[in-house]
């Protein structure tokens, strides 16, 4: 496994790779790797000739500086995991490499960035759009792999790829969960044991809502039940619990079994913000 830090280094590597036709897969990460990331890596290795993983905590997608400062840095452990997994190359750029000058570019993803995550994290998706564009330009992958847990982010990146005609394929990898259902996340490391138990309300709420909708219950009634459950759990604060069209991310006010739908949730457990989602009919 080779670690590189600049686009110039990769350009030399890629020139060598181009001597024989090889597909390049990319898994963008912010480090603090867990099994969910390794699932992405595994799919990358299986579906591309060359597996590249990037590790970069992108400051422009954090609208909360404290959240950025608390993001875990486990680079040595991450590199060890990636080497054991069989990754070929790891891109570990500095902030100065990715942002030699402050970026002034502003993406407008329309309604997609003004609901759910976009509404509660203003500027977040612009930061995502900028850094993902930079990574795609730097690495020029044939396939890029993203996790379903960040479902709205995937919709944003899909729009980015289509509108800017990036010549690559996006692959969505299912959410990896702990045995009790909690979606794996680097932020889980910040939960104390009591908060860790309370965090199960996210997944439990999704499962409950899905079952109720499939039984024919009204969505707004289900939504109200979940809202009350969060209000009654000390140390938990619900930001949103919404039903959306899975690909275009339009918010639904009622459930339609014929449409591809997902339920999305975001909540604070203590001072740790967690997100999750569950697809109903794929």
Q: Are 152 and 264 in contact (CB under 8 A)?
A: yes
| Domains present along the chain, CATH in parentheses | 2-173 (3.40.50.620), 186-276 (3.30.1300.10)
DSSP string, 164-224: HT-S-EEEEEPPPB-TTSPBP-GGGGG--HHHHHHTHHHHHHHHHHHHHHHTT--HHHHHH
Model pLDDT, residue 70: 84
Query: Would the annotation count 153 as a binding residue?
Result: yes
Model pLDDT, residue 69: 87
Query: Would the annotation count 30 as a binding residue?
Result: yes
Average pLDDT of the chain, as a whole number:
95
Flag whether pLDDT at 157 surpasses 70. Answer: yes
Tokens of 247: 């690909």
Flag whether pLDDT at 282 surpasses 70. Answer: no
Known catalytic membership, residue 37: yes
Identify the weakest region by mean pLDDT among 63-77, 89-103, 145-159.
Answer: 63-77
Query: Would the annotation count 33 as a binding residue?
Result: yes
Flag whether pLDDT at 63 surpasses 90. Answer: no
Residue 111 region, left (φ>0) first, then alpha (ψ -120 to 50), else beta?
Answer: alpha
Please give the helix or strand (H or E) that residue 139 lies within, else none.
helix 124-139
Tokens of 215: 């039984």
Query: Would the annotation count 14 as a binding residue?
Result: no
Query: Would the annotation count 61 as a binding residue?
Result: yes
Identify the weakest region by mean pLDDT among 131-140, 206-215, 223-232, 252-261.
Answer: 252-261
Instruction: Give strand pairing partners of 252.
Output: 243
Question: Active site residue: 5, 37, 124, 137, which one?
Answer: 37
Q: Are 278 and 212 in contact (CB under 8 A)?
A: no
| Single pTM value for the model | 0.95
Model pLDDT, residue 18: 81
- 149 pLDDT band, cuts 50/70/90, is very high
């Amino acid at each position: 496994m080779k670690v590189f830090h600049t686009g110039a280094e990769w350009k030399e590597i890629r020139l060598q790779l181009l001597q024989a036709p090889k597909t390049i897969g990319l898994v963008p990460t912010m480090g603090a790797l867990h099994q969910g990331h390794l699932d992405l890596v595994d799919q990358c290795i299986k579906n591309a000739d060359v597996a590249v993983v990037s590790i970069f905590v992108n400051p422009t997608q954090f609208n909360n500086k404290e959240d950025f400062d608390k993001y875990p840095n486990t680079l040595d452990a991450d590199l060890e995991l990636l080497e054991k997994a069989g990754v070929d190359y790891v891109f570990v750029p500095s902030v100065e490499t990715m942002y030699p000058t402050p970026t002034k570019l502003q993406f407008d993803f329309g309604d997609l960035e003004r609901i759910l995550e976009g509404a509660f994290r203003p500027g977040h998706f612009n930061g995502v759009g900028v850094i993902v564009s930079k990574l795609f330009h730097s690495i020029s992958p044939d396939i890029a792999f993203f996790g379903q847990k960040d479902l709205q982010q995937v919709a944003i990146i899909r729009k980015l790829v289509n509108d800017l005609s990036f010549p690559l394929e996006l692959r969505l990898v299912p959410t990896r969960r702990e045995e009790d259902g909690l979606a794996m996340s680097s932020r889980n490391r910040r939960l104390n044991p009591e908060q860790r138990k309370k965090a199960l309300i996210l997944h439990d709420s999704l499962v409950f809502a899905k079952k109720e909708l499939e039984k024919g219950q009204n969505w707004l009634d289900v939504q109200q039940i979940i809202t009350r459950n969060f209000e009654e759990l000390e140390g938990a604060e619900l930001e949103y619990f919404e039903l959306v069209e899975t690909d275009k991310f339009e918010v639904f006010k009622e459930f339609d079994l014929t449409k591809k739908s997902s339920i999305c949730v975001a909540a604070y457990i203590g001072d740790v913000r967690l997100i999750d989602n569950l697809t109903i009919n794929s």
